[in-house]
């Protein structure tokens, strides 16, 4: 099983347009972050979680030319704005894209991408098989996915566990029974926006405390703004087994049984 972090930044990316903060002017590529997305290769299948506005470039940069399915965590545009860029996969793979999302996100797509749902379709629009998911395990191309319900302020969001890998983005509250689904993971990924409190995201310290409960051998933090500080400096102060993720980070571990 191979996991590639396509993007680890917050909704505006790092640097945001026009920002001249020291972190945004850093020459360290690990301080440059596209919008959050992750690619998972498992049992010969290619799965992406979230397709934001950087989706096309992220896949080109990572050399990914096959995607079997996309899972969406929620409807915010920094996680969904790249959906139209599945069209080359429709052409290359000669089939619709399999997309997994909950009913609320599906309804939002009818507004965001109304042209996909019209009766008289314009030639060349994205071709999609939509699969509505709930808070129950489901299968993607024969691979079990366990959803984890979290809250992003008042907005329900899904995290996902595939095998020994758990990925949660855009959260600031997780019920104990939901967090328990992540226990036993080899790798736990959680959002950590910055050090100062935020209405809808965990701070870095809050994320560390959640990670302690899960107790995974390795935790990575994502969805970071420039306010979190320099990548290398922050990592020096984190507990053993915890680190900031970065764009292009690749992890490999055994396939799920």
pLDDT at 233: 98
Per the DSSP assignment, residues forming a β-bridge with 14 are 33
70-109 exposure pattern, b = at least 16 Cβ within 10 A, e = fewer: bbbbbbbebbbbbbebbeebbeeeeeebbbbbbeebbebb
- Find the mean pLDDT for residues 11-36: 98
Encode pLDDT of 51-77 as tens digits: 999 999 999 999 999 999 999 999 999
Show me where the domains of the chain are located. Answer: 2-243
pLDDT > 80? residue 257: no
Nearest to 34 by CA among 223, 219, 189: 223
Superfamily of domain 2-243: Ribonuclease Z/Hydroxyacylglutathione hydrolase-like (3.60.15.10)
pLDDT at 256: 86
- Find the mean pLDDT for residues 40-61: 98
Share of the chain above pLDDT 90, in %: 96
pLDDT > 90? residue 121: no
Average pLDDT score over the chain: 97
pLDDT at 119: 86
Count of residues making up the chain = 257
148 burial via Cβ count (<10 Å: 0-12, 13-18, 19+) = buried
Q: Categorize the per-residue pLDDT at 110 as very low, low, confident or very high, splitting at 50, 70 and 90.
A: very high
Q: Categorize the per-residue pLDDT at 159 as very low, low, confident or very high, splitting at 50, 70 and 90.
A: very high
């Amino acid at each position: 099983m191979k996991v590639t972090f396509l993007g680890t930044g917050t909704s505006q990316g790092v640097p945001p347009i026009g920002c001249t903060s020291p972190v945004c002017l850093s020459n360290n590529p690990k301080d440059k972050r596209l919008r959050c997305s992750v690619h998972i290769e498992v049992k010969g299948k290619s799965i992406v979680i979230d397709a934001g506005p950087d989706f096309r470039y992220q896949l080109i940069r990572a050399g990914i030319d096959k995607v079997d399915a996309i899972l969406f965590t929620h409807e915010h545009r920094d996680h969904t704005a790249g959906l139209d860029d599945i069209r080359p996969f429709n052409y290359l793979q000669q089939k619709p894209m399999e997309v997994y999302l909950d009913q609320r996100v599906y309804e939002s797509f009818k507004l965001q991408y109304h042209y996909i749902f019209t009766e008289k379709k314009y030639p060349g629009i994205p071709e999609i098989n939509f699969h509505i998911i709930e808070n129950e395990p489901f299968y993607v191309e024969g691979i079990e996915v366990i959803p984890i319900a979290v809250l992003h302020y008042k907005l329900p969001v899904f995290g996902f566990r595939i095998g020994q890998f758990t990925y949660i983005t855009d959260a600031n509250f997780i019920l104990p029974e939901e967090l328990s689904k992540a226990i036993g993971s080899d790798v736990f990924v959680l959002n950590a926006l910055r050090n100062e409190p935020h209405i809808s995201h965990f701070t870095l310290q809050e994320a560390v405390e959640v990670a302690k409960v899960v107790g995974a051998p390795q935790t990575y933090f994502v969805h970071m703004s420039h306010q979190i500080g320099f990548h290398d400096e922050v990592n020096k102060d984190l507990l053993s087994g915890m680190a900031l993720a970065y764009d292009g980070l690749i992890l490999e571990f055994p396939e799920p049984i």
